[in-house]
């Protein structure tokens, strides 16, 4: 499937705000793909399609998951918006025949996971650091800078910001984010030994 066709489909489904974000993610994904030797066209396609299910209602997400045998954990049941990654992944697999790595990059972009592929890392970081993002909670400039130096450092930094924000606001944190962060820290040798 050509990028232009996917882009047109996404534009028809999403609000202008969300579509602008998706264009930004595609652009940032290409920038990061160049740095980390990932196929730029693949990164662009995944970037534009990553939020294809983002504007489905909680009811639609839960119904789609049930109808398509997508496993829902207790956190996703409590906060169905987290399902947009899994459901988006299912949609692109069926509609565009995306590879397993492309599908996983969409599936795991809301939370991250243990043993992320480079494409998964790129989409996670691009989603949080694309040019239209203005949120102070992620310290965007520092995140963008880290992303060009060491993508794992950028991931750890972003996950730390995300986890801290959610703790301070008494929000649920998906266990996959904790597992992803711990995995990255172990691999980077950054565990503090007492």
CB 157, CB 163: distance < 8 Å: no
* First CA to last CA distance, the chain: 52
Spatial separation of the C-alpha atoms in residues 45 and 7, rounded to whole Å: 8
Record the tokens describing residue 171, joined without a space.
């929000």
Return the CATH number at 87.
1.10.3210.10
pTM score above 0.85: yes
Average pLDDT rounded to a whole number, residues 44-72: 97
CB 48, CB 7: distance < 8 Å: yes
Q: Which residue has the tokens 């995140």?
A: 143
Q: How many domains does the chain have?
A: 1
Q: Which residues contact 148 (CB under 8 A, 6 or more apart)?
A: 35
In a domain, 100, yes or no: yes
Place 4 in a pLDDT band, splitting at 50, 70 and 90.
very high
Containing structural domain, residue 51: 3-188
In a domain, 113, yes or no: yes
Give residue-wise pLDDT tens across range 153-184.
999 999 999 999 999 999 999 999 999 999 99
Burial of 136 (0-12, 13-18, 19+ CB in 10 A): exposed
In a domain, 194, yes or no: no
In a domain, 14, yes or no: yes
Place 190 in a pLDDT band, splitting at 50, 70 and 90.
low
In a domain, 19, yes or no: yes
Give residue-wise pLDDT tens across range 128-157.
999 998 877 778 899 999 999 999 999 999
In a domain, 80, yes or no: yes
In a domain, 60, yes or no: yes
């Amino acid at each position: 499937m050509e990028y232009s066709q996917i882009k047109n489909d996404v534009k028809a489904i999403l609000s202008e705000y969300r579509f602008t974000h998706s264009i930004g993610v595609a652009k940032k994904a290409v920038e990061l793909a160049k740095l980390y030797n990932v196929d730029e066209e693949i990164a662009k396609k995944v970037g534009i399609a990553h939020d294809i299910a983002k504007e489905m209602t909680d009811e639609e997400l839960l119904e789609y998951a049930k109808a398509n045998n997508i496993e829902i954990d207790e956190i996703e049941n409590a906060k169905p918006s987290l399902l947009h990654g899994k459901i988006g992944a299912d949609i692109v697999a069926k509609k565009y025949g995306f590879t397993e790595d492309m599908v996983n990059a969409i599936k795991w972009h809301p939370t991250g996971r243990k043993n992320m592929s480079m494409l998964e890392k790129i989409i996670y970081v691009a989603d949080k650091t694309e040019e239209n993002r203005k949120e102070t909670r992620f310290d965007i400039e520092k995140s963008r800078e880290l992303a060009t130096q060491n993508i794992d450092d950028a991931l750890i930094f972003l996950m730390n910001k995300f986890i801290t924000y959610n703790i301070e606001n008494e929000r649920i944190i998906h266990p996959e984010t904790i597992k992803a962060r711990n995995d990255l820290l172990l691999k980077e040798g950054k565990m503090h030994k007492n």
